[in-house]
Amino acid sequence: LEWRSFYLNDLPILIDFCEEVQEVSIQHHLNKSQIRALAKLKAVSKQEFQRVTAHAQRHPNSEIGHVSRDFSQISLRDLSGREIEGIADKAAKKESQTELNRARINKSLSLEVKIFMMSRLGIPANRIAARLKVNRLTALKYSENSRLVRSIRSALKKGIPVKQVAKEQSCPEPLVWSIALEGKSDQERFKSLNWGLRTWDHWYFNDVDKRFGDNWPGQIPAQLVGHTLFYFTEEGGLVFDPMGGGGVVPDTCLAFNR
């Protein structure tokens, strides 16, 4: 019985989990379910693993590891495997969001393109300057960026596809679309984007338009955003995006002049 207990419970801990997880598991007398969840947490976020295991007692309302309980202090041993796994899942989502946001921020965009794109979204020059940590005069200088606009328009008049123009000009594709669709009605914008304009009771969108937004868990279709803008906003209107995930809404707003 002792051997079977070792074989079924202790041996997998020695084989499957790193030494740090083993030590914490022994220290807090964790069961197999808790140990596996703790190992998952460490694999997802070392920082959150350290936060959870730093003290035998910890506040349940930490940044990620919120646990819905009535008391203010909780032992690691009192967290079930499911609760620890919940902390790991939240940590994974946060890490994923951080990576995607970093990818959007660190794209090889020149300063003038960043300023111009933010200006096209209706962001004032003083806020652009503060966000990008540049002089206000620099933000004003590149807010219109007539040189870039002329270059993009010239390429589009030659029949060069928007995607290729974006690549050649080192610009995001939605920014090029915002110039390509200037002066067009919303109906014409739908046609140019190859989206069928649907009535409100036929909003069935089974795929996402990869031209708008980043690859994102639960990413909403740009077509849905476009229809929302068409039915509920006017050109030049202010749009509030409470989620701000993969950037589908601001990208679509660029194409629809919102």
pLDDT tens digits along 133-157: 888 899 898 888 889 999 999 999 9
Residue type, 147: R
Residue 78 lies in a domain: yes
Same domain, 69 and 95: yes
| 60 pLDDT tier (thresholds 50, 70, 90) | very low
Same domain, 67 and 122: no
pTM, full prediction: 0.57
Q: Where are the beta strands (DSSP E) in the chain?
A: 57-58, 74-75
Q: By residue range, what is the domain housing residue 188?
A: 181-258
| 101 pLDDT tier (thresholds 50, 70, 90) | low
Q: How many domains does the chain have?
A: 3
Same domain, 56 and 114: no
> What distances in angstroms separate CA 241 from CA 92, 209, 229, 237, one per listed residue?
23, 18, 12, 13
| 99 pLDDT tier (thresholds 50, 70, 90) | low
Q: Which residue has better confidence, 118 or 216? A: 118
Domain edge (last residue) among 143, 171, 199: 171
3-state secondary structure of 66: strand
Residue 176 lies in a domain: no
Domain edge (last residue) among 105, 130, 146: 105
Q: What angle do CA 136, 97, 68 make, to 5 degrees?
A: 120
